[in-house]
């Protein structure tokens, strides 16, 4: 015999009370889940998780560390928390050998290149120790793997917030042009946003909201796209697709040719992954994109004009690299991480300079890897960078890993003409991808 349903004041079932109880239980379960994710099974895990999450937030919204000035302190606090947690409960720390080997190998190559620099040159200025700091940030991967932390959901959520901020600034500038100078000054002083009017040929001018960390959106796009493909209902699917679409829109508003190309290509390459005829659908998708691009051929040609300042700098740099690599010792062993060089560029690049054309890093990242580490060292670094891609498409992995590997490949392609790989955000993303690839089965969101 079933238990009678309690009746309301007028003999009706207390449906509203029942719904309220369900909502209360649902809210309680959500809060408990958030608590467990933030603190882990042991409250002491917060000593690792909280500074880690704060560090990621600073990397995304203050990459130059001009606002909070907290990046180094949070990194040290995270490792202090790891040591405390290991002291009290060493069973909670279980390093993943694969991740540890990759990280230590990259750091070792960097250290050896610094030693090599002082053996063959040793003059000042020298930026090797500044770049080494970025490689040391790779140790975050060891923490993520050892503590079984899946950082991808948190990072992707932050990136969507960044995308929304970018879209909001773009719309605000269109609606209130008088605010452009103030926003431009604010973005410049923080080192986060380059707000400017850009032109690619006559009659093709646009406002660019180029946030420094927007390239990271190549990870949030596949993450939410994969969630949409695995969503249990239409509402969840539409919501996750909307989050991916916001990230795509923000990349288009950046004004960067690199980001725009990645934003348009990623959806064309992602959806075939969830079909049976992947290769055929990729060809159809790319063919459709090519046809839709025909009306914009003139603008594309203008953006690729060799006389354009950015293009002219890159082409001139190629001649410099040909001269540098003509020395067999430099080609094989490199000049050392962070070695300066007097380049013959015909324009003034938009990165750190000492003197007129004397600087330690260019936009041609993979040529820089050879200049820093030589062919042998650069080959090892590139193999580690491509490891997530190789495992995703040569072995049997989840759809999430395959989608994220495609986003990581897009990031690596953009890195070819952008020196962002050596930044804290580049190393952070590499850390997350290494853990995703090597030990994703053992991580917890």
Asked if 219 and 155 touch (Cβ cutoff 8 Å), the reply is yes
CA distances from 396 to 20, 47, 281, 390 (A): 45, 36, 20, 11
The pLDDT score that the predictor gives to residue 42 is 62
The pLDDT score that the predictor gives to residue 33 is 57
Distance CA 100, CA 123 (A): 33
The pLDDT score that the predictor gives to residue 309 is 66
User: Cis (ω within 30 of 0) for the bond into 401?
Assistant: no
Distance CA 260, CA 256 (A): 6
The pLDDT score that the predictor gives to residue 5 is 40
The pLDDT score that the predictor gives to residue 22 is 46
pTM of the model: 0.85
Q: What is the mean pLDDT of each run of 10 residues along the chain (445 residues)?
A: 41 48 55 54 79 94 88 93 85 83 94 95 89 91 91 94 93 87 82 75 70 94 95 93 96 88 92 88 85 72 67 82 93 94 67 63 92 96 94 89 95 90 90 84 44
The burial of 229, by beta-carbon neighbours within 10 Å (0-12 exposed, 13-18 middle, 19 or more buried), is given as middle
Asked if 417 and 123 touch (Cβ cutoff 8 Å), the reply is no
The pLDDT score that the predictor gives to residue 242 is 96
Query: Which tens digit of pLDDT belongs to each residue from 53-111?
Result: 999 999 999 988 888 889 999 999 999 999 988 888 777 788 888 899 999 999 999 99
The pLDDT score that the predictor gives to residue 36 is 56
The pLDDT score that the predictor gives to residue 370 is 96
Q: What are phi and psi of 96, to 5 degrees?
A: -95, 120
Strand partners, 268: none
- For 18-148, where are the E strands, in sequence order? none
The pLDDT score that the predictor gives to residue 12 is 42
The pLDDT score that the predictor gives to residue 26 is 57
């Amino acid at each position: 015999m079933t238990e009678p349903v309690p009746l309301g004041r007028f003999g009706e079932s207390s449906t509203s009370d029942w719904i309220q109880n369900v909502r209360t239980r649902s809210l309680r379960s959500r809060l408990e889940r958030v608590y467990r994710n933030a603190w882990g099974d042991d409250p002491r895990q917060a000593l690792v998780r909280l500074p880690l999450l704060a560090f990621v937030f600073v990397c995304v919204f203050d990459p130059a560390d001009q606002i909070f000035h907290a990046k180094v302190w949070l990194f040290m606090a995270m490792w202090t928390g790891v040591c405390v947690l290991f002291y009290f409960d060493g069973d909670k720390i279980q390093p993943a050998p694969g991740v540890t080997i990759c990280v230590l190998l990259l750091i070792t190559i960097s250290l050896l290149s610094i030693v090599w620099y002082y053996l063959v040159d040793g003059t000042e200025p020298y930026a090797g120790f500044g770049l080494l700091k970025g490689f040391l940030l790779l140790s975050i991967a060891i923490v993520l793997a050892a503590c079984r932390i899946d950082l991808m959901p948190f990072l992707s959520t932050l990136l969507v917030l960044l995308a929304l901020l970018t879209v909001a600034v773009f719309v605000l500038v269109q609606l209130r042009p008088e605010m452009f100078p103030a926003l431009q000054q604010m973005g410049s002083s923080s080192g986060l946003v380059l707000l400017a009017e850009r032109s690619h040929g006559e009659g093709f001018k646009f406002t660019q909201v180029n946030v420094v960390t927007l390239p990271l959106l190549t990870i949030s796009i596949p993450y939410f796209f994969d969630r949409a493909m695995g969503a249990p209902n239409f509402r969840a699917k539409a919501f996750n697709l909307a989050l991916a679409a916001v990230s795509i829109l923000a990349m288009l508003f950046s004004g960067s040719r690199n980001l725009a190309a990645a934003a348009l290509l990623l959806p064309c390459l992602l959806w075939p992954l969830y079909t049976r005829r992947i290769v055929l659908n990729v060809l159809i998708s790319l063919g459709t994109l090519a046809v839709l691009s025909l009306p914009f051929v003139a603008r594309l040609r203008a953006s690729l004009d060799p006389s354009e300042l950015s293009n002219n700098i890159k082409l001139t740099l190629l001649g410099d690299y040909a001269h540098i690599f003509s020395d067999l010792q430099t080609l094989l062993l490199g000049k050392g991480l962070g070695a300066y060089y007097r380049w013959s560029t015909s324009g003034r690049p938009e990165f750190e300079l000492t003197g007129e054309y004397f600087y330690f890093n260019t936009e041609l990242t993979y040529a820089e890897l050879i200049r820093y580490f030589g062919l042998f060292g650069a080959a090892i670094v590139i193999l580690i960078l491509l490891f997530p891609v190789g495992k995703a498409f040569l072995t049997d992995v989840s759809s999430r890993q395959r989608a994220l590997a495609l986003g990581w490949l897009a990031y690596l392609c953009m890195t070819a003409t952008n020196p962002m790989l050596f930044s804290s955000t580049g190393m952070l993303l590499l850390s997350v991808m290494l853990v995703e690839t090597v030990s994703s089965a053992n991580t917890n969101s």
